[in-house]
Amino acid sequence: MRDRYAQSIEEGLALALLRKHSRHEVEAVLHHLCGAERTKATLEKVLGFEASVNG
């Protein structure tokens, strides 16, 4: 049986890259990998998560 993860690969990649790279650099990488629409949605989700964790 396959396990399902609550986090997509793009979200995990964005979170990992944001540790040492700017938002714009992460956005460029995601845009190259998955297109503009998915990049926007992923960044909104990830940045919202970071904001909720960091206060």
**pLDDT tens-digit readout, 10-33:** 999 999 999 999 999 999 999 999
Mean pLDDT computed over every residue of the chain: 92
43 has pLDDT over 60:
yes
What was the pLDDT predicted at 55? 78
What was the pLDDT predicted at 2? 63
Q: How far, in Å, CA of 46 to CA of 38, rounded?
A: 12
Return the domain boundaries, the chain: 9-54
